[in-house]
Amino acid sequence: MTDRRLFTRKLDIARGAVDMTHGSGGKAMAQLVRELFAAAFANPWLDQGNDQAAFDVPGGRMVMTTDGFVVSPLFFPGGDIGSLAVHGTVNDVAMAGAVPLHLTAGFIIEEGFPLADLKRVVDSMAAAAREAGVAIVSGDTKVVERGKGDGIFITTTGIGMVPPGVAPSGDRARPGDAILVSGTMGDHGVAIMSTRDNLGFETAILSDSAALNGLVAAMVAAVPDVHVLRDPTRGGLATTLNEIAHQSGVGMRLRESDIPVRAQVTAACELLGLDPLYAANEGKLIAICAEEECDRLLSVMRDHPLGRDAACIGRVVEDPHRFVQMETRFGGRRIVDWLTGEQLPRIC
Amino acid sequence: MTDRRLFTRKLDIARGAVDMTHGSGGKAMAQLVRELFAAAFANPWLDQGNDQAAFDVPGGRMVMTTDGFVVSPLFFPGGDIGSLAVHGTVNDVAMAGAVPLHLTAGFIIEEGFPLADLKRVVDSMAAAAREAGVAIVSGDTKVVERGKGDGIFITTTGIGMVPPGVAPSGDRARPGDAILVSGTMGDHGVAIMSTRDNLGFETAILSDSAALNGLVAAMVAAVPDVHVLRDPTRGGLATTLNEIAHQSGVGMRLRESDIPVRAQVTAACELLGLDPLYAANEGKLIAICAEEECDRLLSVMRDHPLGRDAACIGRVVEDPHRFVQMETRFGGRRIVDWLTGEQLPRIC
């Protein structure tokens, strides 16, 4: 079934070009992935449509995922491209309910990049990997001429093993399910924004960048049948929920007043005309589970340092239109659409 | 033990910068990897020092490897960045004697890149993956602003399963072993060179870019105890043999007259003052095995379409200096050193 809201006009492959919206995590990216990459590479694992592929190997079920990191600036409040590259990939492994095993790292470095910055990035990756309990087992280094890159890009790939009986997937949200988030929304996006020269904006907000595998391990131990786990990175909570609604063929009803957002993030977003629901997160997850497991899951999440501010923010509903709707603080209701265009380029 | 030839002067991390030699596959890259990456990430799998990490999982032994591709131009005689990205990673998996299972692909695309070129690259990747019998199971797309990238960079990661009893590794070359190559040396390097505008050079040489997993499967079926398998990519045959000599703590004696090189490649290299032994290959492998298995291995290789020109090119010898030496066509002997500096940037 085609979602007409998503694909009203096909990509113009003969005359079109890639633009910044194709990397934003929103509607344009979903279209590029669907019409170009997924069409060419079609296979049962990619067609799962998750941020990681799950497959059986002798001895168990494994997941594999990859992520490129082009964040600008390289060093930001609360992290840097190195720690982010580890956290992002560990998290995509963990969102399958899996225990991360090993990572690889591919570096594309621009000629002239200071070795001191490279060391800082690499040391930060190493520390993040140690903390998450994973090893960077293989790597690759390429160098491009000055002006053909931007300091450093890192692509990390991760594998992990899924415990028996655990199988969260973006297509498993069912009407009646509870929708939870593990903490405040938008911290990473606003932290990055605060560093951009042209915005001339300062804030005390740190990126939430963190490895969520410990939190997930506690969650699946308590509720092995959690239906969906996903981290709302590029495109934020709003876009990620729309992806899940699309995959599962359901609608969602959120309660704005229940969505945790730091006061400083709200203030910064208001100043900039942005919406925290579309701002990126790098240390938060969305969990969707059966209504009767909600309290137990929430309690386990709140017991973990990375889930202290966890909240139940709404319900999955039947909806052939697959709309994500929100009861606003003022008692109204609005549709929370996919990110269209770009809110902020190179956020991760 | 430190090889003094390699690390005579430490990296100046406080004041130094990355230059093109750090991506060349030669001595400078080996130093950067050793002093910066390997030092920070140190773990038993990375310390294997191979192009892939091998580790046990429930049910068997697995390998994982990653490679970034920044080749310029994107389309070249005999291939393109898409097919190369599949072949390169499939080959790094295969060089562990493993059967490739799945790949992931991370794309970093420059704003303005034509969708038609993107489709050509993606279709080429898909065809190469089908031909090699692997699936691209997960991916990621990032877009960077115009002038912050160079068309498209691709990072592919692969995993595979190693058959029981098979364990080739760069540290297993033993004095007396035979050194074999699967075909002619330098084709990829010269094919890329032929397209570079500033060289204004034309030749009929095609890149040898190809997936070697089928050839390797036949080889390990016949000789499961092959000691070393490695593909001589960046830095070419000379640099790769030096890496192996260094890892295994041995020397090597090559016979120049036995090393297969196409006449056009020799001619092109002479014209450009280059050495085919340092030119990159993307569809060739080096195999090192016990002397008594050499004939059998050579025969199996020659029976495979990608090993028709296979040859035994020399022997492993005891040598505390770990020198790779070559008897020249003219009866002399010379040391074949690591690539120093860069022969050709962005060859893969």
pLDDT single digits (tens) B34-81:
999 999 999 999 999 999 999 999 889 999 999 999 999 999 999 999
Confidence of residue A2 (pLDDT cuts 50, 70, 90): very low
Crossing angle of the two packed helices A81-94 and A115-132, in degrees rounded to 10: 30
B106 in A contact zone (CB under 8 Å):
yes
- Residue B99's Cβ-side half-sphere holds a number of Cα atoms within 13 Å equal to 11
- Paired sense of beta strands B99-110 and B135-144, if any: parallel
Q: 């280059």: which residue's tokens?
A: B274
Q: Rounded to whole angstroms, how far apart are CA atoms A125 and B40?
A: 9
> Given pLDDT bands bounded at 50, 70 and 90, which one contains residue B334?
very high
Domain boundaries, chain B: 20-162, 178-335
| B110/A138 Cβ within 8 A | no
ipTM of the complex: 0.94
Residues β-bridged to residue A254: A314, A326
Q: Report the amino acid identity of residue A187.
A: D
Name the DSSP letter for residue B127. H
Cα–Cα distance, A241 to A257 (Å, whole number): 17
Tokens representing residue A100 in the block: 């991360």
pLDDT band (50, 70, 90) for residue B201: low
Q: Quote the CA–CA distance of B197 and A266 in Å, as a whole number.
A: 53
For residue A257, give the 3-state DSSP assignment.
Answer: helix
Determine which helix (DSSP H) or strand (DSSP E) holds A252, and give its type and residue range: strand A251-255
Burial A7-17 (b: 16+ CB within 10 A, else e): eeeebeeeebb
Which is nearest to B299 in space by CA: B212, B185, B221? B221
Per-residue pLDDT band for A273 (boundaries 50, 70, 90) equals confident
3-state secondary structure of B246: helix
Distance, CA of B75 to CA of B151 (rounded, Å): 11
Q: With beta carbons under 8 A apart, name residues in chain B contacting A163.
A: none
For residues B196 and B128, give the distance between their C-alpha atoms in angstroms, rounded to a whole number. Answer: 24
Determine the pLDDT at residue A18: 96
Task: Give the Cα separation of B45 and B64 in Å (integer).
Answer: 10
CB A252 within 8 A of CB A316: yes
- What CATH number should be reported for the domain whose range is B20-162? 3.30.1330.10
E-strand spans in chain B? Answer: 53-57, 60-69, 75-76, 79-80, 99-110, 135-144, 152-162, 178-181, 228-230, 251-255, 286-289, 311-317, 324-327, 333-335
pLDDT above 70 (res B119): yes
Q: Select the residue from B74, B153, B154, B339 to test the A interface by mutation, using most A Cβ atoms within 10 A.
A: B153
Q: What integer pLDDT is reported at residue A174 of this predicted model? A: 98
At a CB cut-off of 8 Å and minimum separation 6, what does B347 contact? Answer: B71, B188, B189, B192, B233, B234, B280
DSSP letter at B26?
A: S
Question: Which of B17, B37, B138 comes nearest A65 by C-beta?
Answer: B138
Count Cβ neighbours within 10 Å for each residue of B249-280 and write b for 16 or more, e otherwise.
bbbbbbbbeebbbbebbbebbeeeebbbbbbb
User: Is some CB atom of chain B closer than 8 A to the CB atom of A281?
Assistant: no
Rg (CA), chain A: 19
The tokens of A103 are what? 């990572």
Beta-sheet strands, E only, within B14-59: 53-57
Q: Does A115 touch chain B (CB under 8 A)?
A: yes
Give the integer Cα–Cα distance in Å for B297 and B293: 6
Dist CA B254 CA B179 (whole Å): 8
| Pairwise CA distance, residues A297 & B216, whole Å | 49
Mean pLDDT of B226-255: 97
What was the pLDDT predicted at B13?
Answer: 95
**What is the pLDDT at residue B3?**
44
Residues in chain B: 348
Nearest chain B Cα distance for residue A132, angstroms: 13
Measured torsion, CA atoms of residues B218, B222, B227, B228, in degrees rounded to the nearest 10: -20
Residues of B in contact with A169 (CB under 8 A): none
Residues of A in contact with B161 (CB under 8 A): 57-58
Mean pLDDT of A213-223: 98
Fold of domain B178-335: Phosphoribosyl-aminoimidazole Synthetase; Chain A, domain 2 (3.90.650)
Report whether A60 contacts A105 (CB < 8 A): no
Percentage above 70 pLDDT, chain A: 95
d(CA A210, CA A56): 28
CB contact under 8 A, B150 and A148: yes
B319 pLDDT above the threshold of 90: yes
**In this predicted structure, what is the pLDDT of residue B88?**
98
Q: Look over chain A and give the mean of its residue pLDDT values, rounded to a whole number.
A: 93
A136-145, B107-116, B247-256, B267-276: least confident range: B267-276
CB contact under 8 A, B138 and A64: yes
Contact A104 B32 (CB under 8 A): no
Query: How big is chain A, counted in residues?
Result: 348
pLDDT exceeds 80 at position A325: yes
User: Per-residue pLDDT for A3 more than 50?
Assistant: no
B261/B281 Cα distance (integer angstroms): 11
Interface of A with B in 51-70 (CB under 8 A): 51-53, 55, 57-60, 62, 64-70
Pairing of strands B53-57, A311-317: unpaired
Residue B238 is predicted with a pLDDT of 97
Asked if B14 and A116 come within 8 Å (Cβ–Cβ), the reply is: yes
- Measured CA to CA, the distance from residue A245 to residue B167 in angstroms comes to 46
Q: What is the predicted pLDDT for the residue at A69?
A: 98
| A177 vs A288: CA distance, rounded Å | 6
Out of A195-209, A225-239, B220-234, pick the least confident: A195-209
User: Inter-chain contact A60–B65, Cβ cutoff 8 Å?
Assistant: no
Burial, B131: exposed, middle or buried (Cβ in 10 Å; 0-12, 13-18, 19+)? Answer: middle
Strand order in the sheet with A333-335: A228-230, A286-289, A178-181, A311-317, A251-255, A324-327, A333-335
Please tell me the class of the A56-162 domain. Answer: alpha beta
Looking at residue A197, what is its pLDDT? 56
